[in-house]
């Protein structure tokens, strides 16, 4: 996930535009070529399906993209929203396919057989790569790391009440020294009890009998022991989206033994690129 220093809120669209000259596979699906200006008019279901199709097409052309469609949807949402705020007409004319390629390359997630660092340099060009290296040191550090082959990024953490909890290890990133963002998946152990819980929450009204799992995007403040839910997507057993909900940042204390408590114990113990751990940072922040 993109790491933003406090003074940098989002990737400038111009940087994404500069990547137009290199798409490492032939022609992507036509839908991925529509301009960014059309993206904001689409609902979450359409966006996820489009990115999933793009990733599948890339794979058919020998390019492996490991991050989830949901990850790229959120990155595109943020980038395009910033372009709209800045009245960046040139940026809004860029294709979604080019933008996904650029974001993936900067995250080291565009695996076409080339060295990840060299591919990013070629894609961005000398000036933009220097800017990228200076402004996103954690992302740059990922490009230097040896790629770890792991067929399944989802790691099981345990249980909380009736929920089996996993988190997506490749999605974990630190947006500051103490704040992490991560995607997590929850599935009910007892599905009948789970469906009752969904009803209480007012969720899953469409095809509740086909419900399979939730995907959450969390932001966790390891220093303050608080969290915010940024997104909650409900999926059917066949992988199709039932409904999607996005939320503004609303920080709350992490309840003991809750789903987010289980997740935070792992996330906040992960080493950062500096070799320090968030529990140490938490201790320093309280001094």
How do residues 192-237 score in pLDDT, each as one tens digit? Answer: 888 888 888 777 667 777 889 999 999 999 999 999 999 999 999 8
Burial 84-100 (b: 16+ CB within 10 A, else e): beeebeebbebbbbbbb
What is the Cα gyration radius of the chain? 19
Topology of the domain comprising 154-285: Lipocalin (2.40.128)
- pLDDT at residue 48 tops 70: yes
Q: What are phi and psi of 177, to 5 degrees?
A: -65, -20
Q: Is 240 helix (H, G, I), strand (E, B) or coil?
A: coil
- Residue 273: its pLDDT value, please? 34
Span 76-130, pLDDT tens digits: 998 888 888 888 777 777 788 888 998 999 888 999 889 999 999 988 888 888 8
pTM tops 0.85, yes or no = no
User: What is the per-residue pLDDT for 18?
Assistant: 41
**Per-chain mean pLDDT for the chain:** 79
Rounded distance between C-alpha atoms, residue 49 and residue 23, angstroms = 20
- What is the spatial distance between Cα 219 and Cα 226, in angstroms, rounded to a whole number? 9
Q: Average pLDDT, stretch 239-248?
A: 89
pLDDT at 13 over 80: no
Residues of the chain with CATH 2.40.128: 154-285
Q: What's residue 179's pLDDT?
A: 92
The confidence score (pLDDT) of residue 2 equals 35
Nearest to 217 by CA among 41, 67, 115: 67
* Strand ranges for the chain from DSSP E: 154-160, 163-168, 173-174, 179-188, 211-221, 226-236, 241-246, 252-253
- Assess whether pLDDT exceeds 80 at residue 266: yes
Q: How far apart are CA 167 and CA 231, in angstroms?
A: 14
């Amino acid at each position: 996930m993109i790491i933003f220093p406090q003074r940098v809120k989002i990737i400038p669209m111009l940087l994404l535009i500069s990547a137009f000259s290199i798409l490492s596979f032939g022609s992507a699906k036509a839908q991925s070529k529509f301009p960014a200006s059309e993206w904001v008019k689409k609902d979450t279901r359409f966006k996820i399906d489009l990115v999933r199709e793009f990733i599948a097409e890339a794979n058919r052309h020998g390019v492996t993209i490991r991050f989830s469609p949901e990850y790229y949807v959120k990155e595109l949402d943020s980038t395009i929203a910033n372009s709209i705020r800045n009245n960046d007409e040139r940026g809004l004319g860029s294709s979604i396919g080019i933008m996904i390629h650029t974001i993936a390359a900067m995250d080291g997630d565009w695996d076409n057989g080339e060295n990840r660092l060299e591919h990013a340099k070629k894609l961005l060009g000398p000036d933009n790569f220097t800017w990228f290296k200076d402004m996103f040191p954690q992302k740059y550090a990922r490009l230097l790391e040896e790629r770890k082959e792991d067929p399944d990024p989802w790691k099981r953490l345990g249980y909380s009440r009736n929920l089996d909890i996993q988190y997506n290890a490749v999605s974990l990133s630190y947006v500051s020294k103490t704040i992490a963002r991560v995607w997590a998946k929850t599935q009910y152990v007892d599905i009948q009890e789970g469906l009752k819980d969904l009803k209480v929450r007012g969720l899953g009204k469409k095809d509740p009998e086909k419900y399979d799992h939730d995907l959450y995007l969390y932001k966790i403040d390891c220093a303050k022991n608080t969290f915010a839910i940024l997104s909650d997507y409900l999926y059917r057993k066949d992988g199709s989206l039932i409904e999607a909900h996005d939320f503004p940042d609303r920080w709350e204390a992490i309840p003991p033994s809750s789903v987010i408590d289980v997740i935070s114990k792992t996330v906040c113990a992960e080493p950062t690129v500096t070799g320090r751990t968030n529990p140490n940072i938490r201790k320093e922040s309280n001094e």
